[in-house]
Structure 1
Amino acid sequence: MTGRKFAAVVGAMVVALGIGTSANASGDDFARILKQQYDAWYEQDGAKFAATFHEDADMVTFNGEHLSTRKGIAEGMQYFFDNHIPKSRLKVLDSHVRYVRRDLAVIVRTTCIVETVECREGSLSRNTNVLSKRDGKWLQESFQNTRVEPLAPGVVPVSEPKGYPGSIEQIRQRQEDSWYEEDGAKFASTFSKDADVVTFNADHLRTRKGIAERMQFYFDNYINKTRLKTLGERIRFVGRDLVFVVRTGCQLVPPDTECRPDSVSRNINVLVKRDGKWTQESFQNTRYVPIQEVSGS
């Protein structure tokens, strides 16, 4: 998709949302950022790629690596370009744009890698891009990518759960409790009414009700009774009412106290404060799979 076509798509979504002319202008900003990022990928230029981010931004890569700050993103991506990413182009297959407020947008894109003409086999992925406008300029605050591993379609119909705003710690605890209790509605209650979730297999869940119904399907069919364990986190405030939490965790099979093998993952949680309480606007999870070092590097 060309930058001009993408701008048109974003602009149409903005008009549908009734945001106004200032937000219409942001469609061009988003197209510019997307084009620069994709040009940088093709040119294998880590610094150019990182220039689309704020200086204190966070990025979680396809393998769960956490790159923090623009400098860290530039260095990490250059390493990937030099050692692991072949010359290729990125292709946008789908894009979901949502404004949280006039200076904060969440974009969930489905993409693939193109080395010839068609998408490379196994390259389908989904990423959450959170952009904010600071001092009149849009840049990325966070970006996370997860490879698509489709699971069977299905939901468990539930009534829309009531929202559960609270402190950052209360939200984390409620999410962990609901996971152990296998309660999709309770899990979803920590999110805003129109939130976005991208799961470990890159399934895109939209709205609090949609999160509740799909998560209950996962609990009933795919997720064994486990506990979540936090191994580490980075909390970054952007002003007083926006926070990015990059959390590393794993699953425990009770009564074990050690991480279940291959269960370590990393997620970015975006929370907004309204009326003195926090609620989640977006969440994405990626399994952590260390990349083998290149011989002689």
Structure 2
Amino acid sequence: MANDLPESTPSSREDEDAIRQLLSRQVGGWDAGDPEAYASAFTPDADYVAFLGSHYKGRDAIAKSYAPLFKKLLRGSRLDTDITQLRFLTPDVALIHATAVVAKGSRRRNPRTTRVNTSIAVRTNDGWLLAASQNTTHRRIAEKLMRQLVSRQSD
């Protein structure tokens, strides 16, 4: 299947900065334990797939799903993220790849709990927002075992 998209669509530095600020605002909502602030980074009809595979449709559903988590399991946690790729597919659509780790207290990042995130940001009348996002737990041991299995199969 041919890819009809250009390698990368030129963007303005302001657009890239706005998307980075959007993600910082989202992380700020997480760190504050505020589900509405966290979900405010999404469009009202966004699609969100959490790391366990749960699918939430819409900003309100995303906020609602995090409310009990921020009260107990994720209380006092912080979200450490690194954008690994920010690519404009069109002037109004950007693909974002990032890694994220949830940490509590003064604990350092644990590579075993790294999540890989893929998001689509879109330009809206309210600025840049996330229209879709999916988190996947990066299973390094399983990845290594799979590489070994594939290597043995090709011998």
Partner residue of 2:129?
A: 139
Q: Does 1:113 align with 2:102?
A: yes
Partner residue of 2:75?
A: 86
- Cα distance, 1:58 vs. partner? 1.0
* TM-score, with length taken from structure 1: 0.43
Q: 1:30 aligns with which of 19, 24, 43?
A: 19
Q: Deviations over 1:204-263 (max 9, x none)?
A: xxxxxxxxxxxxx59x68xxxxxxxxxxxxxxxxxxxxxxxxxxxxxxxxxxxxxxxxxx
Aligned-residue Cα RMSD (Å) equals 2.5
**In the TM superposition, what are the counterparts of 1:1-297 in structure 2 within 5 Å?**
19-20=10-11, 23-115=12-104, 116-120=106-110, 122-135=112-125, 137-150=127-140, 151-152=143-144
Q: Distance in 2 between matches of 1:93 and 1:137?
A: 22
Structure with higher RCO (Cα < 8 A, 6+ apart): 2
The percent of aligned pairs where both chains have the same amino acid is: 23
Flag the 1:120–1:152 CA change in 2: closer, same or farther, 3 A: closer
Q: Distance in 2 between matches of 1:85 and 1:139?
A: 24
Higher radius of gyration, 1 or 2: 1
* TM-score, with length taken from structure 2: 0.79
Q: Which has the higher helix share?
A: 2
Q: Deviations over 1:123-169 (max 9, x none)?
A: 211011110112362100011111110212998xxxxxxxxxxxxxx
Aligned residues: 141
Task: In structure 2, list runs of 5 or more residues that go unmatched.
Answer: 1-7
